[in-house]
Every structure is written in C-alpha cells, then in structure tokens.
Amino acid sequence: MVDEEDDFPFDEALAATYVGKTILVALTYLTHDGQLIRRQQIHGRIESATRQGILIVLDGSDAGEKWNMPPSLDAIRRAGPGVYRLEETGEEIENPDLLSSWTISKAPPTN
C-alpha cells in the first residue's frame, strides 16, 4: 500500500480508462532462491484503479472474490484478440481487454 502521492508516478487519467475493463492476470510464485512454487491465472473486471491498488472483481472459478493488484500501470498491457485458456481451470476467456503478469518471490528465511 502506498501512502505518499509522490512515491511513484501514477497516471490517474490512464488508470481511469481501465475501470470496467476485463483483465487476465498471470501470477508466478517462486521460492526465495527462484524455484517455481506454482503458477496461477485469474481474471475479472477492474472495479477501481487508484494509487492504493487496482481492484479486480474476479470471474470464473473465483467469481465473487476480489483481488487488489499493485498500482503499477506499467504492468498492464492491451490484450490481443482471441481466446485465452487458463491452464489450471480450463476456463476460456474470450477477448479480454487487458493483460498483466506478476512474479511473487518468497522472502528468504530468517536465521
């Protein structure tokens, strides 16, 4: 969560254009030393996009849940047309508006 407005650039006008768009997010979870733990894909509609995060109302197998993505607009890109098949669930997402991918690494163990 970001408290200071000047901590990083955030284009509010661009963020506002994402509200209401469908997004497909790929998540890769790694150990602290870079070993793959698992991959996950989620999708839904962007409910809000602010400095505090990009709130996504999830669809499909996660319907009804919400996920708050970090507010990095650079991590979002336009999706090409087509059908995207989720590896884990087999769900097919047709023509999402946006794509994003994140790699999440576990912190190293403390001694």
Considering the domain boundaries, does residue 20 fall inside one? yes
Q: How far apart are CA 40 and CA 110, in angstroms?
A: 27
Considering the domain boundaries, does residue 2 fall inside one? no
Q: How far apart are CA 16 and CA 66, in angstroms?
A: 18
Strands 22-30, 98-105: pairing kind? parallel
Considering the domain boundaries, does residue 84 fall inside one? yes
Considering the domain boundaries, does residue 1 fall inside one? no
How many structural domains does the chain have? 1
Considering the domain boundaries, does residue 82 fall inside one? yes
Considering the domain boundaries, does residue 79 fall inside one? yes
Residues of the domain holding 87: 12-105
Considering the domain boundaries, does residue 67 fall inside one? yes
Give the pLDDT of the chain (111 residues) as one tens digit per residue.
444 455 668 899 999 999 999 999 999 999 999 999 999 999 999 999 999 999 999 999 999 999 999 999 999 999 999 999 998 889 999 999 999 999 999 998 887
Considering the domain boundaries, does residue 6 fall inside one? no
For 110, the token pair is 């403390």
Determine the pLDDT at residue 88.
Answer: 87
Q: How far apart are CA 110 and CA 79, in angstroms?
A: 40
